[in-house]
Every structure is written in C-alpha cells, then in structure tokens.
Homo-oligomer: A and B are copies of this chain.
Amino acid sequence: MAKPTRARLPTSEPLKMAPELEELIGYNLKRAYVVVQKDYRAALGDGGLSPRTFAALSLAVAYPNLTQSNLARMLGIERSGLVAIIDELERDGLLKRTTVPGDRRVQALVPLEAGIAAHRATLAKVKAHEDKLLEDLSDVEKETLIFLLRKIRRHETES
C-alpha cells in the first residue's frame, strides 16, 4: 500500500508555486509589491515615513494649499482614509491644516519647513533603497516596467 503523500518542502529548495497563479498579472504585482514594501520598511527603519505617508507628504509639498479632497483623489484613496495620514503628519509637525479664504468648510494643507526637509531626506532614502534592491534590473528594464505599470494605471478610478 502506498504511503500517504505529504507535501513537505525542504527550506533549501525553491518553493513550488501554483502554475496558474504565476501566470496572473495581479498575483505577480502583489508579490513584487510586497518585496519592495518590505525592503522599503527595512531601509527606512521604524521611525521612517510609511510609503503612503511619504506619498501624501510628497504631494502636499509639491502642491501647497492642496485640499484634503484633492489629495485623496490624487492618492486614489478614500477621503476618510486620508484623515489618519494627515493627523500623523500634523502631529509630527510636517504640515498643518489651514482654512481656505472664502470657504471656511474647506481645509487646505500647508507643508511646514520640517515637512519639506523630511520629504527631501526620505526621498533620498527611498531612491537609494530602490536603486539597491533593483540593481539587477537595467535602466531600460526599469523604464519598461514603469511604462507598463502606467498602462495599467490608465484605468485608475477615483475612490
């Protein structure tokens, strides 16, 4: 009688994968993003800005007086999801909320000096992390990858 088979994969062996998952673009996108995100967190350290906080700060620095609604749209996230991010940035003294002249209901975001400096320092670290992690991709491969990801991003919708 055959013994019951048991799928025990030695850690030294490359992991087997489900072939149909490996052919899905969504699955590969997610797995590749997890690689980049883990390395980002390792490179930036515990005190560093998270990817989403860094993205929000980048846009606030690039477009002073941006409203929260517009920032949420630019990030492709729900306005409610943005509140915690802005709270964090405001608490850390990186930006402040101000009211817009003529419409007190609308709050605009103003980057503070510490925020501009934190943005610059974080951007340098993020670029260094990507350069190192992705050093086995040629410049042409990186450009091609961004081009193809942007083709997918043409389908971005507002939250």
Q: Which of A92-139 contact B (CB under 8 A)?
A: 100-101, 108, 123, 126-127, 130, 133-134, 136-137
B70 contacts A7, C-beta separation under 8 Å: yes
Residue A24 lies at the interface, judged by CB distance under 8 Å to chain B: yes
Q: Which of A121-159 contact B (CB under 8 A)?
A: 123, 126-127, 130, 133-134, 136-137, 141-142, 144-146, 148-158
B74 contacts A35, C-beta separation under 8 Å: no
Question: How far is the CB of A77 from the nearest CB of chain B, in Å?
Answer: 9
B144 contacts A148, C-beta separation under 8 Å: yes
Partner of A70, one of B9, B61, B123, B150: B9
B7 contacts A149, C-beta separation under 8 Å: no
- 10 shortest interchain CB distances as A-B pairs: A28-B149, A32-B152, A26-B36, A18-B62, A18-B58, A32-B149, A7-B66, A29-B33, A7-B63, A145-B148
Query: Given A25-B149, A35-B152, 16 other A-B contacts at CB below 8 A?
Result: A7-B63, A9-B70, A9-B73, A18-B55, A18-B58, A18-B61, A21-B59, A29-B29, A29-B149, A30-B33, A31-B153, A31-B156, A39-B155, A137-B151, A145-B145, A145-B149
